[in-house]
Amino acid sequence: MLDQLPNRPASPSDLRANRVISIPDFHLEGQLTPEQIDFFEVYGFIRFKQFVPRERANELYQALLELTDELVKKGVDQINGVPLIKGKRDDGSPYFGRIPFASLQHPEFAKFLRDPRFQAIIDQLAPGSRLGEDERDGLVVNRFRNEPGAKYKNLGWHTDSLRDLAYFEKPRRYLNVGFSITDSPMKVGGLRVLPCTHNQSIASMLTTKIHFFDMEPDPNELAIETEAGDLTIHDGRIWHRTALAEVTGDASERCVTYLPIMDGPVIKKHEKSPTPVYFHLKKFLGY
Ligand SMILES: O=C(O)CCC(=O)C(=O)O
Ligand SMILES: [Fe+2]
């Protein structure tokens, strides 16, 4: 009888997918505390509450709207060889699901990166690394929306370090620093991670899941909810995905910027840079 209930999970592990477990409300004042460093090293991610006040996040949202208008007006469809991912709202108005090199495009994003706490993050978690403002995809602004005209609604399981392999480089320590421009409660989908997978081998990075194509919730995943102004850091080798929003249209909007902290050879991007190999893979996914 119970088996016929529509929402009954097929197995106990299904109960565990797509859920939040409370994580400490860390704050980043000047330097990271030993406890924060420990948390990051053990789990492969960390979340700082109110890295900046909500009002500052709202200013960055305004900057995103201005940048969108400007890029639409100019008909820009790629920056430094990296394609923009376009979307269309139900009223027909265009926007971008993904804008690379945002800090080179709008002064507010450039100003955001001048916060001295980014250097503290580098010094304590990845000494000798740098903000890759004009490398790889630079500061990326993701704007996930769930509506028929959206191409960028969610992202399948992946590790960001796979990009090292795509650039024919050995995966190395690489931190992805995410900043929430808007709130990210469960209903808008959002970041899901497999904690502790940052210590995996290259073989396991290549085989645990099928990069980007696998969108299934995982019993061991953890949802990271954020509010506008929060900052997250994840190790580039950790398995993660972006879940689809449960709601649609404006209510589903989730804006987050990602900043790469990297070491290794400096390969600056410029107007004539070729489109990276992994973007051809993205085409198979309909982006
Ligand atoms: O939606 C997120 O917070 C994660 C996005 C992401 O993993 C990526 O852009 O590589
Ligand atoms: Fe990612």
User: Ligand 1 pocket: which of 180, 209, 258, 279 to mutate (most atoms <8 Å of CB)?
Assistant: 258
Using CA atoms, how far residue 102 sits from 99, 133, 146, 256, in Å, is 6, 9, 22, 12
Per-residue pLDDT of the chain (287 residues; tens, 9 = 90+): 444 444 555 666 667 788 888 899 999 999 999 999 999 999 999 999 999 999 999 999 999 999 999 999 999 999 999 999 999 998 999 999 999 999 999 999 999 999 999 999 999 999 999 999 999 899 999 999 999 999 999 999 999 887 666 666 665 678 999 999 999 999 999 999 999 999 888 788 788 888 888 999 999 999 999 999 999 999 989 999 999 999 999 999 999 999 989 888 888 999 899 887 777 766 667 66
Q: How far is the CA of 140 from the centre of ligand 1 (A)?
A: 9
Q: Across the strands, what pairs with 78?
A: 83
**189 CA → ligand 1 middle, Å:** 11
Q: Whose CA is nearest to atom 5 of ligand 1?
A: 242
What integer pLDDT is reported at residue 10 of this predicted model?
Answer: 64
Do residues 255 and 102 touch, judged by C-beta distance below 8 A?
Answer: no
Q: And the tokens for 177?
A: 């620093």
What pLDDT, on the 0 to 100 scale, is given for residue 4?
A: 47
Whole-model pTM?
0.91
Name beta bridge partners: 262. 130
Q: Tell me if 188 CB under 6 Å of ligand 1.
A: no
Give the tens place of pLDDT for each residue, 231-283. 999 998 999 999 999 999 999 999 999 998 988 888 899 989 988 777 776 66
Supply the pLDDT for residue 104: 97
Q: Which helix (H) or strand (E) holds 88?
A: strand 85-88
pLDDT score, position 1: 41
Whose tokens are 């100019």? That residue is 74
Q: Which is the closest atom of ligand 1 to the Cα of 256?
A: 3
Atom of ligand 1 minimally distant from the CA of 158: 7
CA of 272 to the centre of ligand 1 (A): 26
169: tokens are: 């480089």
d(CA 208, CA 156) in angstroms, rounded, equals 13
Q: What is the pLDDT of residue 3?
A: 45
Non-local CB neighbours of 39 within 8 Å, separated by 6+ positions: 24, 26, 46
CA distance 129 to 264: 8
Q: Which ligand is nearest to the CA of 184?
A: 1
For residues 249 and 34, give the distance between their C-alpha atoms in angstroms, rounded to a whole number.
Answer: 42
Instruction: Render 241-286 in DSSP notation, one character per residue.
Output: EEEPPSS-GGGG-EEEEEEEEE-SS--B--TTPPPPHHHHHHHHTT
Domain boundaries, the chain: 43-264+275-284
> What CATH number labels 43-264+275-284?
2.60.120.620
List, in order, residues 6 or more apart from 72 with CB less than 8 Å away: 94, 95
Q: Which residues pair with 232 in a beta bridge?
A: 47, 178
Query: How much is the pLDDT for 169?
Result: 66
